[in-house]
Protein backbone atom coordinates (compact mmCIF):
# COMPACT_ATOMS: atom_id res chain seq x y z
CA UNK A 1 0.00 0.00 0.00
CA UNK A 2 2.77 2.43 0.90
CA UNK A 3 4.46 1.84 -2.46
CA UNK A 4 1.18 2.69 -4.22
CA UNK A 5 0.90 5.92 -2.25
CA UNK A 6 4.55 6.71 -3.10
CA UNK A 7 3.83 6.07 -6.78
CA UNK A 8 0.72 8.24 -6.75
CA UNK A 9 2.53 11.13 -5.07
CA UNK A 10 5.49 10.82 -7.44
CA UNK A 11 3.14 10.81 -10.45
CA UNK A 12 1.27 13.87 -9.19
CA UNK A 13 4.58 15.65 -8.66
CA UNK A 14 5.76 15.14 -12.24
CA UNK A 15 4.54 18.55 -13.52
CA UNK A 16 6.42 20.26 -10.68
CA UNK A 17 9.53 18.20 -11.43
CA UNK A 18 9.44 19.18 -15.10
CA UNK A 19 8.98 22.86 -14.23
CA UNK A 20 11.94 22.61 -11.87
CA UNK A 21 14.05 21.09 -14.65
CA UNK A 22 13.06 23.96 -16.92
CA UNK A 23 13.95 26.55 -14.31
CA UNK A 24 17.33 24.93 -13.66
CA UNK A 25 17.86 25.13 -17.39
CA UNK A 26 17.98 28.92 -17.14
CA UNK A 27 21.47 28.50 -15.65
CA UNK A 28 22.41 25.19 -17.25
CA UNK A 29 20.59 24.85 -20.62
CA UNK A 30 21.41 21.13 -20.73
CA UNK A 31 18.66 20.51 -18.16
CA UNK A 32 16.12 21.48 -20.83
CA UNK A 33 17.47 18.96 -23.32
CA UNK A 34 16.45 15.31 -23.69
CA UNK A 35 13.60 15.57 -21.18
CA UNK A 36 11.82 12.72 -22.98
CA UNK A 37 14.53 10.33 -21.84
CA UNK A 38 13.42 10.85 -18.25
CA UNK A 39 10.03 9.45 -19.32
CA UNK A 40 11.51 6.41 -21.03
CA UNK A 41 11.20 7.91 -24.51
CA UNK A 42 14.47 6.54 -25.88
CA UNK A 43 15.66 4.75 -29.03
CA UNK A 44 15.54 0.98 -29.04
CA UNK A 45 18.89 -0.46 -28.03
CA UNK A 46 20.35 -2.37 -30.97
CA UNK A 47 21.05 -5.87 -29.70
CA UNK A 48 24.32 -7.52 -30.73
CA UNK A 49 23.67 -11.02 -29.39
CA UNK A 50 25.32 -10.07 -26.13
CA UNK A 51 23.97 -9.80 -22.62
CA UNK A 52 23.16 -6.22 -21.65
CA UNK A 53 24.17 -4.74 -18.30
CA UNK A 54 22.50 -1.57 -17.08
CA UNK A 55 24.52 0.69 -14.77
CA UNK A 56 22.68 3.50 -13.01
CA UNK A 57 24.88 6.25 -11.54
CA UNK A 58 23.84 9.61 -10.13
CA UNK A 59 26.83 11.58 -8.88
CA UNK A 60 30.11 12.01 -10.71
CA UNK A 61 31.77 10.08 -7.87
CA UNK A 62 29.45 7.12 -8.42
CA UNK A 63 30.14 7.19 -12.14
CA UNK A 64 33.90 7.20 -11.55
CA UNK A 65 33.53 4.15 -9.31
CA UNK A 66 31.25 2.41 -11.82
CA UNK A 67 33.58 3.24 -14.71
CA UNK A 68 36.18 0.83 -13.34
CA UNK A 69 33.66 -2.01 -13.59
CA UNK A 70 32.40 -0.81 -16.96
CA UNK A 71 35.93 -0.65 -18.36
CA UNK A 72 36.67 -4.19 -17.24
CA UNK A 73 33.43 -5.51 -18.74
CA UNK A 74 33.92 -3.69 -22.04
CA UNK A 75 37.39 -5.16 -22.37
CA UNK A 76 35.87 -8.65 -22.51
CA UNK A 77 33.79 -7.65 -25.56
CA UNK A 78 31.00 -9.87 -24.21
CA UNK A 79 28.46 -7.30 -23.04
CA UNK A 80 26.44 -4.33 -24.19
CA UNK A 81 26.54 -1.63 -21.51
CA UNK A 82 23.74 0.82 -20.77
CA UNK A 83 24.62 3.76 -18.49
CA UNK A 84 22.02 6.10 -17.03
CA UNK A 85 22.57 9.33 -15.11
CA UNK A 86 20.27 12.04 -13.78
CA UNK A 87 22.26 15.24 -14.36
CA UNK A 88 23.89 16.92 -17.37
CA UNK A 89 27.20 16.83 -15.49
CA UNK A 90 27.00 13.08 -15.15
CA UNK A 91 25.90 12.75 -18.77
CA UNK A 92 28.89 14.79 -19.91
CA UNK A 93 31.24 12.54 -17.96
CA UNK A 94 29.79 9.37 -19.50
CA UNK A 95 30.13 10.76 -23.02
CA UNK A 96 33.65 11.99 -22.32
CA UNK A 97 34.79 8.69 -20.83
CA UNK A 98 33.10 6.13 -23.06
CA UNK A 99 31.56 7.89 -26.05
CA UNK A 100 29.77 5.43 -28.34
CA UNK A 101 31.17 2.42 -26.49
CA UNK A 102 28.13 2.50 -24.20
CA UNK A 103 24.46 3.31 -24.69
CA UNK A 104 23.77 6.37 -22.54
CA UNK A 105 20.49 8.10 -21.67
CA UNK A 106 18.98 9.80 -18.64
CA UNK A 107 17.36 7.48 -16.11
CA UNK A 108 13.56 7.23 -16.17
CA UNK A 109 11.61 8.49 -13.20
CA UNK A 110 10.69 5.86 -10.63
CA UNK A 111 7.17 5.26 -11.89
CA UNK A 112 6.19 1.75 -13.06
CA UNK A 113 5.04 2.45 -16.62
CA UNK A 114 8.12 4.64 -17.25
CA UNK A 115 10.45 1.97 -15.87
CA UNK A 116 8.70 -0.68 -18.00
CA UNK A 117 9.12 1.45 -21.12
CA UNK A 118 12.84 1.79 -20.38
CA UNK A 119 13.28 -1.92 -19.67
CA UNK A 120 11.47 -2.90 -22.85
CA UNK A 121 13.75 -0.64 -24.90
CA UNK A 122 17.00 -1.82 -23.30
CA UNK A 123 16.22 -5.42 -22.19
CA UNK A 124 19.02 -5.67 -19.61
CA UNK A 125 20.17 -9.05 -18.30
CA UNK A 126 21.40 -7.35 -15.11
CA UNK A 127 20.77 -3.97 -13.47
CA UNK A 128 23.54 -2.45 -11.33
CA UNK A 129 22.83 0.43 -8.95
CA UNK A 130 25.65 2.29 -7.25
CA UNK A 131 26.07 2.90 -3.50
CA UNK A 132 22.65 4.00 -2.20
CA UNK A 133 20.62 4.45 -5.37
CA UNK A 134 17.71 2.15 -4.53
CA UNK A 135 14.29 2.99 -5.92
CA UNK A 136 11.18 0.99 -4.93
CA UNK A 137 9.44 0.83 -8.30
CA UNK A 138 12.62 0.31 -10.30
CA UNK A 139 13.57 -2.71 -8.19
CA UNK A 140 9.98 -3.98 -8.27
CA UNK A 141 9.76 -3.79 -12.06
CA UNK A 142 13.16 -5.43 -12.52
CA UNK A 143 11.95 -8.24 -10.25
CA UNK A 144 8.75 -8.63 -12.27
CA UNK A 145 10.80 -8.77 -15.49
CA UNK A 146 13.09 -11.41 -13.91
CA UNK A 147 16.07 -9.06 -14.21
CA UNK A 148 18.61 -9.65 -11.40
CA UNK A 149 19.68 -6.50 -9.58
CA UNK A 150 22.93 -5.63 -7.82
CA UNK A 151 23.69 -2.85 -5.40
CA UNK A 152 27.37 -2.21 -6.11
CA UNK A 153 29.76 -0.49 -3.71
CA UNK A 154 26.83 -0.31 -1.31
CA UNK A 155 26.99 2.07 1.61
CA UNK A 156 24.46 3.25 4.15
CA UNK A 157 25.21 6.01 6.62
CA UNK A 158 23.56 6.09 10.03
CA UNK A 159 21.61 9.15 8.87
CA UNK A 160 20.32 7.40 5.72
CA UNK A 161 19.50 4.23 7.66
CA UNK A 162 17.41 6.26 10.09
CA UNK A 163 15.52 7.81 7.19
CA UNK A 164 14.84 4.45 5.53
CA UNK A 165 13.67 2.99 8.85
CA UNK A 166 10.91 5.61 9.07
CA UNK A 167 9.37 4.02 5.96
CA UNK A 168 10.04 0.38 6.77
CA UNK A 169 6.86 -0.76 4.98
CA UNK A 170 8.38 0.62 1.79
CA UNK A 171 12.05 -0.16 2.49
CA UNK A 172 11.75 -3.83 3.47
CA UNK A 173 9.89 -4.96 0.32
CA UNK A 174 12.30 -2.90 -1.76
CA UNK A 175 15.30 -4.72 -0.27
CA UNK A 176 13.55 -8.07 -0.79
CA UNK A 177 13.36 -7.22 -4.50
CA UNK A 178 17.12 -6.60 -4.58
CA UNK A 179 18.97 -9.71 -5.81
CA UNK A 180 22.34 -8.99 -4.22
CA UNK A 181 24.29 -6.25 -2.42
CA UNK A 182 28.05 -5.80 -2.48
CA UNK A 183 28.62 -3.65 0.60
CA UNK A 184 31.67 -1.59 1.47
CA UNK A 185 32.12 -2.52 5.14
CA UNK A 186 30.57 -4.60 7.98
CA UNK A 187 29.09 -1.54 9.73
CA UNK A 188 27.07 -0.54 6.68
CA UNK A 189 26.12 -4.18 6.09
CA UNK A 190 24.59 -4.40 9.58
CA UNK A 191 22.50 -1.32 8.84
CA UNK A 192 21.17 -2.97 5.68
CA UNK A 193 20.36 -6.17 7.59
CA UNK A 194 18.40 -4.24 10.22
CA UNK A 195 16.32 -2.71 7.42
CA UNK A 196 15.45 -6.13 6.00
CA UNK A 197 18.20 -7.19 3.60
CA UNK A 198 18.90 -10.92 3.85
CA UNK A 199 22.51 -11.70 4.77
CA UNK A 200 22.61 -14.51 2.19
CA UNK A 201 21.96 -11.86 -0.46
CA UNK A 202 25.02 -9.79 0.35
CA UNK A 203 28.79 -9.76 0.62
CA UNK A 204 31.18 -7.30 2.24
CA UNK A 205 33.61 -6.50 -0.57
CA UNK A 206 35.32 -3.28 0.45
CA UNK A 207 35.01 -0.14 -1.65
CA UNK A 208 35.70 0.05 -5.38
CA UNK A 209 36.95 3.57 -4.73
CA UNK A 210 40.11 2.10 -3.22
CA UNK A 211 40.99 0.70 -6.64
CA UNK A 212 42.32 3.99 -7.90
CA UNK A 213 45.15 3.80 -10.39
CA UNK A 214 47.35 6.76 -11.29
CA UNK A 215 48.69 5.90 -14.71
CA UNK A 216 51.96 7.24 -16.07
CA UNK A 217 50.23 9.77 -18.33
CA UNK A 218 48.23 11.30 -15.47
CA UNK A 219 51.29 11.37 -13.21
CA UNK A 220 53.30 13.16 -15.90
CA UNK A 221 50.55 15.71 -16.55
CA UNK A 222 50.18 16.37 -12.82
CA UNK A 223 53.92 16.89 -12.41
CA UNK A 224 53.94 19.38 -15.28
CA UNK A 225 50.94 21.22 -13.84
CA UNK A 226 52.49 21.34 -10.39
CA UNK A 227 55.70 22.76 -11.80
CA UNK A 228 53.73 25.44 -13.63
CA UNK A 229 51.48 26.35 -10.70
CA UNK A 230 54.23 26.27 -8.07
CA UNK A 231 56.60 28.32 -10.22
CA UNK A 232 58.92 25.32 -10.21
CA UNK A 233 58.69 24.70 -6.49
CA UNK A 234 58.72 28.30 -5.25
CA UNK A 235 55.08 28.20 -4.07
CA UNK A 236 53.22 25.76 -1.84
CA UNK A 237 49.78 24.69 -3.05
CA UNK A 238 46.59 23.99 -1.12
CA UNK A 239 43.63 22.46 -2.92
CA UNK A 240 40.08 22.87 -1.62
CA UNK A 241 38.15 20.27 -3.60
CA UNK A 242 34.46 19.61 -4.22
CA UNK A 243 33.28 22.60 -2.19
CA UNK A 244 29.60 23.33 -1.61
CA UNK A 245 27.59 26.47 -1.10
CA UNK A 246 28.45 27.87 2.33
CA UNK A 247 31.97 26.43 2.41
CA UNK A 248 33.81 28.75 0.07
CA UNK A 249 33.51 31.67 2.48
CA UNK A 250 35.08 29.59 5.27
CA UNK A 251 37.89 28.45 3.00
CA UNK A 252 38.60 31.99 1.78
CA UNK A 253 38.65 33.25 5.37
CA UNK A 254 41.21 30.57 6.22
CA UNK A 255 43.23 31.29 3.09
CA UNK A 256 43.35 35.00 3.93
CA UNK A 257 44.88 34.09 7.30
CA UNK A 258 47.37 31.76 5.60
CA UNK A 259 48.46 34.50 3.19
CA UNK A 260 49.23 36.73 6.17
CA UNK A 261 51.76 34.10 7.23
CA UNK A 262 53.06 33.21 3.77
CA UNK A 263 51.94 35.38 0.86
CA UNK A 264 53.40 33.01 -1.72
CA UNK A 265 50.74 30.32 -1.17
CA UNK A 266 48.45 29.30 -4.03
CA UNK A 267 44.91 27.96 -3.57
CA UNK A 268 43.27 25.62 -6.07
CA UNK A 269 39.56 26.09 -5.41
CA UNK A 270 37.33 23.49 -7.09
CA UNK A 271 33.55 23.87 -6.56
CA UNK A 272 31.56 20.65 -6.68
CA UNK A 273 28.86 21.84 -9.07
CA UNK A 274 29.41 23.68 -12.37
CA UNK A 275 26.42 25.98 -11.89
CA UNK A 276 28.37 27.60 -9.02
CA UNK A 277 31.57 28.35 -10.96
CA UNK A 278 30.65 31.94 -11.81
CA UNK A 279 29.34 32.73 -8.33
CA UNK A 280 32.48 31.39 -6.68
CA UNK A 281 34.68 33.35 -9.09
CA UNK A 282 32.77 36.52 -8.20
CA UNK A 283 33.08 35.73 -4.48
CA UNK A 284 36.84 35.40 -4.82
CA UNK A 285 37.28 38.67 -6.67
CA UNK A 286 34.91 40.48 -4.26
CA UNK A 287 37.11 39.27 -1.40
CA UNK A 288 40.10 40.89 -3.13
CA UNK A 289 41.84 37.78 -4.44
CA UNK A 290 43.52 37.68 -7.82
CA UNK A 291 42.26 34.62 -9.69
CA UNK A 292 42.72 32.75 -12.93
CA UNK A 293 40.38 30.05 -14.15
CA UNK A 294 41.50 26.60 -15.15
CA UNK A 295 39.31 26.77 -18.26
CA UNK A 296 41.25 29.78 -19.52
CA UNK A 297 44.46 27.69 -19.58
CA UNK A 298 46.18 30.82 -18.30
CA UNK A 299 49.25 30.14 -16.18
CA UNK A 300 49.08 31.75 -12.73
CA UNK A 301 51.66 34.44 -12.06
CA UNK A 302 53.40 35.19 -8.78
CA UNK A 303 50.57 37.66 -8.08
CA UNK A 304 47.82 35.05 -8.56
CA UNK A 305 46.21 33.94 -5.31
CA UNK A 306 43.67 31.41 -6.58
CA UNK A 307 43.23 29.07 -9.52
CA UNK A 308 39.51 28.34 -9.87
CA UNK A 309 38.91 24.78 -11.05
CA UNK A 310 36.01 25.44 -13.41
CA UNK A 311 36.41 22.38 -15.60
CA UNK A 312 34.95 18.90 -15.24
CA UNK A 313 36.85 15.63 -15.01
CA UNK A 314 40.14 17.17 -13.87
CA UNK A 315 39.92 16.82 -10.10
CA UNK A 316 42.41 13.94 -9.92
CA UNK A 317 44.83 15.94 -12.05
CA UNK A 318 44.51 18.95 -9.75
CA UNK A 319 44.99 16.80 -6.65
CA UNK A 320 48.26 15.70 -8.23
CA UNK A 321 49.37 19.33 -8.47
CA UNK A 322 48.77 20.10 -4.77
CA UNK A 323 50.72 19.69 -1.54
CA UNK A 324 47.81 19.55 0.94
CA UNK A 325 44.13 18.77 0.31
CA UNK A 326 40.98 20.05 1.96
CA UNK A 327 38.01 17.86 0.97
CA UNK A 328 34.72 19.70 0.72
CA UNK A 329 31.17 18.77 1.52
CA UNK A 330 32.40 18.57 5.10
CA UNK A 331 31.85 22.09 6.46
CA UNK A 332 28.19 21.71 5.49
CA UNK A 333 25.89 18.81 6.33
CA UNK A 334 26.71 16.94 3.14
CA UNK A 335 28.80 14.12 4.61
CA UNK A 336 32.09 14.82 2.86
CA UNK A 337 33.49 13.53 -0.42
CA UNK A 338 36.02 10.92 -1.48
CA UNK A 339 39.06 11.12 0.81
CA UNK A 340 40.78 8.33 -1.12
CA UNK A 341 41.44 10.51 -4.17
CA UNK A 342 43.92 12.83 -2.39
CA UNK A 343 45.20 9.90 -0.30
CA UNK A 344 46.34 7.95 -3.37
CA UNK A 345 48.47 10.97 -4.34
CA UNK A 346 50.13 10.86 -0.92
CA UNK A 347 48.62 14.16 0.26
CA UNK A 348 47.88 15.01 3.90
CA UNK A 349 44.13 15.60 4.11
CA UNK A 350 42.09 18.14 6.05
CA UNK A 351 38.32 17.90 6.42
CA UNK A 352 35.42 19.60 8.12
CA UNK A 353 33.41 17.62 10.68
CA UNK A 354 30.65 16.32 8.36
CA UNK A 355 32.01 12.97 7.17
CA UNK A 356 29.10 10.53 7.30
CA UNK A 357 29.31 9.56 3.61
CA UNK A 358 32.82 8.22 4.20
CA UNK A 359 32.66 7.62 7.95
CA UNK A 360 34.62 4.36 8.04
CA UNK A 361 37.31 5.61 5.67
CA UNK A 362 37.57 8.95 7.49
CA UNK A 363 37.95 7.17 10.83
CA UNK A 364 40.69 4.90 9.49
CA UNK A 365 42.60 7.78 7.90
CA UNK A 366 42.27 9.78 11.11
CA UNK A 367 43.65 6.91 13.17
CA UNK A 368 46.52 6.68 10.69
CA UNK A 369 47.24 10.42 11.20
CA UNK A 370 46.56 11.07 7.53
CA UNK A 371 43.33 13.03 7.92
CA UNK A 372 42.82 16.00 10.23
CA UNK A 373 39.36 17.28 11.17
CA UNK A 374 38.80 21.00 11.74
CA UNK A 375 35.71 22.95 12.71
CA UNK A 376 36.31 26.55 11.64
CA UNK A 377 38.30 28.83 9.37
CA UNK A 378 40.79 29.48 12.18
CA UNK A 379 41.34 25.77 12.76
CA UNK A 380 41.69 25.15 9.03
CA UNK A 381 44.32 27.89 8.72
CA UNK A 382 46.24 26.62 11.76
CA UNK A 383 46.18 22.99 10.60
CA UNK A 384 47.31 23.77 7.06
CA UNK A 385 49.98 26.16 8.33
CA UNK A 386 51.26 23.50 10.72
CA UNK A 387 51.51 20.91 7.95
CA UNK A 388 53.32 23.31 5.64
CA UNK A 389 55.72 24.18 8.48
CA UNK A 390 56.45 20.56 9.44
CA UNK A 391 57.23 18.79 6.20
CA UNK A 392 58.23 15.55 7.95
CA UNK A 393 54.78 15.17 9.54
CA UNK A 394 53.06 16.13 6.28
CA UNK A 395 55.08 13.61 4.27
CA UNK A 396 54.41 10.85 6.79
CA UNK A 397 50.70 11.64 6.74
CA UNK A 398 50.69 11.36 2.96
CA UNK A 399 52.68 8.12 2.88
CA UNK A 400 50.46 6.49 5.50
CA UNK A 401 47.31 7.45 3.61
CA UNK A 402 48.73 6.13 0.36
CA UNK A 403 49.60 2.84 2.04
CA UNK A 404 46.09 2.61 3.49
CA UNK A 405 44.62 2.87 -0.03
CA UNK A 406 46.98 0.21 -1.38
CA UNK A 407 46.25 -2.24 1.43
CA UNK A 408 42.49 -2.08 0.83
CA UNK A 409 42.36 -2.58 -2.92
CA UNK A 410 40.69 -5.52 -4.66
CA UNK A 411 36.96 -4.71 -4.48
CA UNK A 412 36.63 -4.31 -8.25
CA UNK A 413 37.51 -7.94 -8.92
CA UNK A 414 35.10 -9.10 -6.21
CA UNK A 415 32.34 -7.11 -7.91
CA UNK A 416 33.19 -8.62 -11.29
CA UNK A 417 32.94 -12.11 -9.78
CA UNK A 418 29.50 -11.28 -8.34
CA UNK A 419 28.36 -9.88 -11.70
CA UNK A 420 29.42 -13.09 -13.41
CA UNK A 421 27.46 -15.17 -10.89
CA UNK A 422 24.31 -13.09 -11.33
CA UNK A 423 24.57 -13.18 -15.13
CA UNK A 424 25.03 -16.93 -15.12
CA UNK A 425 21.63 -17.23 -13.42
CA UNK A 426 19.93 -14.62 -15.57
CA UNK A 427 17.22 -15.76 -17.99
Q: What is the pLDDT of residue 44?
A: 87
How many Å apart are CA 318 and CA 67, to the nearest integer? 20
Tell me the catalytic residues: 62
Residue among 137, 146, 362, 324 nearest 226 (CA): 324
How many Å apart are CA 244 and CA 231, to the nearest integer? 29
Which DSSP state fits 108? P
Q: What is the pLDDT of residue 427?
A: 59
| Strand locations in 27-90 (E) | 51-56, 79-85
Distance of CA 168 to the CA centre of its chain: 27
pLDDT tens, the chain, 427 aa long? 778 888 888 889 888 988 888 888 777 788 888 989 999 899 888 877 789 999 999 877 788 889 989 999 999 999 999 999 998 888 888 988 899 999 999 999 999 999 999 999 999 999 999 998 889 999 999 999 999 999 999 999 888 899 888 888 889 999 999 999 999 999 999 999 999 999 999 999 999 989 988 999 999 999 999 999 999 999 999 999 999 999 999 999 999 999 999 999 999 999 998 889 999 999 999 999 999 999 998 889 999 999 999 998 899 999 999 999 999 999 999 999 999 999 999 999 999 999 998 888 999 999 999 999 999 999 999 999 999 999 999 999 999 999 999 999 999 999 999 999 999 876 5
Contacts of 424 by beta carbon, 8 Å cutoff, 6+ apart: none
How many Å apart are CA 270 and CA 266, to the nearest integer? 13
Q: What is the pLDDT of residue 10?
A: 87
How many Å apart are CA 18 and CA 405, to the nearest integer? 42
Number of helices and strands in the chain (H, E): 17, 14
Q: What is the pLDDT of residue 426?
A: 62
Is the pTM above the cut of 0.85?
A: no
Amino acid sequence: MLRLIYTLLFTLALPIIVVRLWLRGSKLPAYRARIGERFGVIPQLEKKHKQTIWFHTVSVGEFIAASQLINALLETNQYDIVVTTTTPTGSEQVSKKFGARVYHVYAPYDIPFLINRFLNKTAPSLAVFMETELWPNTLRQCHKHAIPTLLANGRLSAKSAKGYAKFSNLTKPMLHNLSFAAIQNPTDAERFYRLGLAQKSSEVTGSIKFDIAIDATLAERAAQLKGEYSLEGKRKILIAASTHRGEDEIILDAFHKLLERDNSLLLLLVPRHPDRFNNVAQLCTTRGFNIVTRSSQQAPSAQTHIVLGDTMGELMLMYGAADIAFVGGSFVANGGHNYLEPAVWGLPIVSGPSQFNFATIAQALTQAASLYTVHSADELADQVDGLFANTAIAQQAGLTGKRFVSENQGATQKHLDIIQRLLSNAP
